[in-house]
Chain A
Amino acid sequence: MKQRTLWSASLVAGLVVLAGCGSASDPDSASGGSKGKLVVWDWKSGDATASSYVKKAKADFAKRHPGVTVEFVAQPFEQYYTLLGAAIQAGKGPDVMLFNGGGQIRDRVDSLLPLDEYVRDDRKRLAGWEAFTKDSKTYAAPVTLQGHPIYYNKSLYRKAGLDPEQPAASWDEFVADCRTISKATGARCFAQGNKEGIGIQFFLSGLGSGVLSPTEYDDWIAGERDWSSPAVKRVFSLWKEADDKGLNNDGANSTAMFNDAFAVFQSHKAAHVIGLMSDIGHWKDFAEFLDAGNVGVMKSPVVTAGATPSLPYDGGIGYAVAKWTKDPEVAADLVRSLTSTDVLKSFYADAGAIAADRTVDVSSGGPAVATIVSEIDRGKPALHVALPSKTVDLMGRLSQQLLSGSVTVDAAVKQLAASDQAG
């Protein structure tokens, strides 16, 4: 027994002696694809709706670099950043990789190549660059725009005797309309899901421009966030108030945002949902169930006087280049092929995503997409995208605590301020 205990103790001691040797993430490891081959990681190329997009991008790139093979490796989205994190730590990741805009890419810029000198000519044609920028350097070129429009079900408005073309412009009118709709149709006001804590991100960005003044909004995006301001607190009190007043579907904390909440909206059980502009939960998805003519898009109602509601959007997804790639210029050229106009047209047509390219024609997409696109020029970056991912994660948990009443708005914003400051 004593000998075995000695062995166990020696093993633990040996492990501790190793302390301090090496690091979990080794930035100096060199690797990447070999010359003549580029490896791309994403979570899109496996989708049927993206196949013609990938095919066209490959063809466009092959015209300019006939000797370079491009291999797409589609990863499952749920595991994507875990797998990418492991690859980055090993220094043996792909040459080109897909990122969501915001915290996910900003947290990993140490491993990425600044693309500014390669994408200079695409600057004006594409929108949404800010979501892929850190410290004035651009690390990815945008493929889609991602935003959080408030979608509404026009048929429920009609059934309730409301004018579906004139949704409420103020919060009080909005709540009154919701009461009318609920009475007439039984549908709730919001399809809300918060099982993963994602609901608050949609709520903050979807309604934030109706609460914060334009100056305060711009300061927030610029990183000067005053968490103690009454308007910021109002967003979080509104979150709780909406649930307390029964505006959300029941059991929001056990309902997932993706799939569940959107299903509630699509099945006429809720009149509004704060959705997306690309991927899922967007105009094209909803149109399959509600008919394109019944899918309305509205801006946030004005909650506090002086607020100027606008469409919240950023670059949605974009391709970045690893700094370990053997030939940065060629890899950047692949990114340019993946974001060229003809290629993005396919992505819009097949997947329904709002492409980052302003020159893509969307006139056949129906009224909802026309409204969204018409608001892009007046739109502003989404509030939650500007936050560090750690703060977003904390905000998810606090949002659940707000709903259950186990934290006050003041205590929640205090914790968020501390997390935001720590970065």
Chain B
Amino acid sequence: MLRLWPLGLGVSFSFTGDGERNGATVGLDNYAELIDDPLFRTALRNVGLLVLLLPVAVAIPGLLATFIYLRVPGHRFFRSVYFFPAVLSPVIVGAIFNLLLAFDGPLNAVLGGSGVGPVDWLGDPDVAIFAVVGVHIWATSGMALVVFLAGFATLDSALLDAARVDGASLARMIWHVIVPGLARTIRFVVVTTTIGMLTSMFGLLYVMTSGGPEGSTYLPEYYIWVQQGQMSRPALASAASTVLFLIMLAVGLLQVGLLRRAGRED
């Protein structure tokens, strides 16, 4: 009851009005306004973009874990280094990268030194969302890396040894031995990374771009916060959060489906 009642109230509020129509039942007006709002459409488009970027977010910790598992020189040191950002607050991570990615910041100074023109990392609407997602992946990949390393512990090392004896290249070993052997782990990381990207980017977004430039980095969570807190539109915010809830429900059902399939393979 304590879990469902607030959820029900949120959905209920989404069918009422804001401002002068406060409390009046307005049917689907809020949802119609959301569909008409280019800012909300951008937020939903960015959700789609995050899903498209998911393979990158999974591949990076996967590859790093592979290198560590294959005992690259200094692997113990790298294991700590890769995990370290996972214990930093998104606010701190955002503040650090604000400095690094500033127009007159160190990254652009390096680019300038190498003859490449400066990039307005957080001010160019075509670039900013990738900058924020990139930082999110940087900050959170440590946790996925730990999961991958746990998965490697279950991998049959005899298969890898056999591949080595047969003279398989690193790429072939990854593709034909490691990826099939870690199928369950990869599915788990895909699902948890998806959920993390959809629900945990608010802090980073708030600090790094505040939804800008041109609203290009809006995500549904940030949109809800702006409508509720800044625009004094709680009913519209409730409608937006109901839409986000439905998206999350779909992702959750996908998660249940994927885990069940993984379980069946046992």
Given A85-B228, A196-B212, the answer on whether A251 and B16 have CB atoms closer than 8 Å is no
Q: Does A81 contact B (CB under 8 A)?
A: yes
Chain B contributes a number of interface residues (CB within 8 A of A) equal to: 49
Task: Quote the shortest CB–CB distance from B264 to chain A (angstroms).
Answer: 12
CA distance A146 to B253 in the complex (A): 52
CB neighbours (8 Å) of A397 from chain B are 39, 212, 214-215
Interface residues of A (CB under 8 A from B): 4, 8, 11-12, 14-16, 18-27, 79, 81-83, 85-86, 89, 107-108, 110, 194-197, 250-255, 260, 389-390, 393, 396-397, 400-401, 404, 406
Nearest chain B CB to A130 CB, angstrom units:
20
Does B101 belong to the interface (CB within 8 Å)?
yes
Is A251 a contact of B18 with CB atoms below 8 Å?
A: no
Whether the Cβ atoms of A195 and B212 lie closer than 8 Å is: yes
B interface residues, Cβ below 8 angstroms from A: 4, 7-9, 11-19, 22-25, 39, 101-104, 118, 120-125, 209-210, 212-215, 225-226, 228-232, 234-235, 237-238, 249, 253, 256
State in angstroms the CA–CA spacing of A86 and B16 once bound together: 16
Q: Quick one: closest A residue to B218, CB to CB?
A: A397
Q: What are 10 A-B pairs at a CB distance below 8 A?
A: A23-B16, A23-B24, A24-B237, A26-B23, A81-B232, A194-B213, A250-B118, A255-B103, A393-B231, A401-B125
A254/B102 in contact, CB under 8 A: yes
Task: Report the Cα distance A82→B214, complex, angstroms.
Answer: 22
A195 to B120, CA, bound (A): 11
Query: Could you say which residues of chain B place their CB within 8 Å of the CB of A401?
Result: 125, 214
Cβ–Cβ contact A19 & B11, under 8 A? yes
B8 touches A14 (CB 8 A): yes
Asked if B12 and A254 sit within 8 Å, CB to CB, the answer is no
B213 and A25 contacting across the interface, CB-CB below 8 Å: no
Q: Is B25 a contact of A20 with CB atoms below 8 Å?
A: yes
When the two chains form their complex, are residues B225 and A253 in contact, meaning their CB atoms are under 8 A apart? Answer: no
- In the A-B complex, the 3 residue pairs with the smallest Cβ-Cβ separation, listed nearest first, are A251-B103, A82-B229, A253-B123
Q: Which of B16, B122, B215 contacts A22 (CB 8 A)?
A: B16
CB-contact partner of A195 in B11, B123, B230, under 8 A: B123
Q: How far is the CB of B103 from chain A (nearest CB, A)?
A: 2
On whether A15 and B104 interact (CB within 8 A), knowing A108-B232, A397-B215, A406-B214, the answer reads no
Would A404 and B232 be within 8 Å (CB), given that A195-B213, A251-B103, A254-B102 are in contact? no
B229 interface neighbour in A23, A85, A390, Cβ under 8 Å: A85
Q: Are B22 and A27 in contact (CB under 8 A)?
A: yes
B23 touches A254 (CB 8 A): no
Contact across chains for A16 and B11 when beta carbons are under 8 A apart: yes
- A85 surroundings in chain B (CB, below 8 A): 228-229, 232, 234
Contact in complex: B234, A89 (CB < 8 Å): yes
**CA distance in complex: A29, B1 (Å):** 23
| Residues in B whose Cβ lies below 8 Å from that of A18 | 8-9, 11-12
Most B-side CB within 10 Å, residue of A82, A108, A196, A254: A254
- Cβ contact within 8 Å between B120 and A253: yes
Q: Are B234 and A24 in contact (CB under 8 A)?
A: yes
Decide: A400 and B212 in contact? CB cutoff 8 A. yes
